[in-house]
Amino acid sequence: MQPTKRELFIQTLKRFTPEAYTEYLADLILAAKVKFKIVPGRSTKLGDFRVKQGEEKPTITVNGDLNQYSFLITAIHELAHLDAFRNYGWRIIPHGIEWKQAYRRLLEPVLVSKQLPSELEKALWKNFTHTKASSCTDIQLSRTLKQFDKNPGLTLEEIPHKSIFHLNGKSFEKGLLRRSRYLCTELKTGKPYLVHALATIEIIEKYEHK
């Protein structure tokens, strides 16, 4: 007997998300009737939700290089965008009350399951109570999720002020903290960039202008 679409989807998700939640996430995605794509890692975002005029289904993408818990939370985040869009259209704030209500509704079964590591469950309950735009803007949740990376690497917040570092093929000087991001200067052009405090970087001892 050929496996069903649901069974195939669950098998795929087992490679990316905690096994305890594969069926829940698969059912959410299939019920949403959305194009769900697992894509190569992107430095600018963990996932996104897009609707294009003329397309039959909206599209959700999630980075395939995320750790299993980050993948799960990111997928729920984007599914909440889809839920808010279908209920209220575009005339809402992207991470306003409509999105927050959808996010909490989708996240609650994960929280009450008692299948999460204790430190992550605690961070998610705090995030659930005081919902921000995402794990990226909730710095404590981001730190907790990063603990589950296989190779977490050196983060920007760990290096001293004015340190020189590489990121995405460019060299920067670390500046001052602005909420969850540091205002850094690209050395070649002098342009300012806001870089997330938990971005994985490579520190360099000496910079030679090219």
Q: Do 192 and 117 share a domain, yes or no?
A: no
Q: Is residue 209 part of a domain?
A: no
Q: Is residue 198 part of a domain?
A: yes
DSSP state string for 63-119:
ETTS-HHHHHHHHHHHHHHHHHHHHHTTSS-TTSHHHHHHHHHHHHHHHHTT-S-HH
Q: Do 51 and 104 share a domain, yes or no?
A: yes
Q: Do 24 and 96 share a domain, yes or no?
A: yes
Q: Do 40 and 127 share a domain, yes or no?
A: yes
Q: Do 124 and 38 share a domain, yes or no?
A: yes
pLDDT exceeds 90 at position 184: yes
Count of the separate structural domains present in the chain: 2
Mean pLDDT of the chain: 90
Decide: helix, strand or coil at residue 22: helix
Tens of pLDDT, residue by residue over 157-183, are 999 999 999 998 899 999 999 888 899
Tens of pLDDT, residue by residue over 23-75, are 999 999 999 999 999 999 887 789 999 998 777 899 999 999 999 999 999 99
Q: Do 9 and 85 share a domain, yes or no?
A: yes
The pLDDT of residue 135: 46
Q: Do 93 and 161 share a domain, yes or no?
A: no
Angle between helix 22-32 and helix 68-88 axes, rounded to 10 deg: 30
The pLDDT of residue 62: 97
pLDDT exceeds 70 at position 123: yes
Q: Domain of 172: which CATH number?
A: 2.30.30
The larger pLDDT score, comparing residue 136 to residue 117, is at 117
pLDDT exceeds 70 at position 207: no
Q: Do 114 and 15 share a domain, yes or no?
A: yes
- Label the pairing between strands 35-39 and 59-63: parallel
Q: Do 73 and 163 share a domain, yes or no?
A: no
Q: Do 189 and 134 share a domain, yes or no?
A: no
For residue 171, the enclosing domain spans 154-203
**DSSP 8-class letter at 54:** T
Cβ–Cβ under 8 Å, residues 60 and 46: no
Q: Do 113 and 169 share a domain, yes or no?
A: no
Q: Is residue 66 part of a domain?
A: yes
Q: Is residue 208 part of a domain?
A: no
pLDDT exceeds 60 at position 209: no
pLDDT exceeds 70 at position 17: yes
Q: Do 170 and 66 share a domain, yes or no?
A: no
The pLDDT of residue 206: 56
| The last residue of a domain, from among 119, 146, 173 | 146
Percent of the chain with pLDDT over 90: 70
- For the segment 10-22, the average pLDDT, to the nearest whole number, is 96
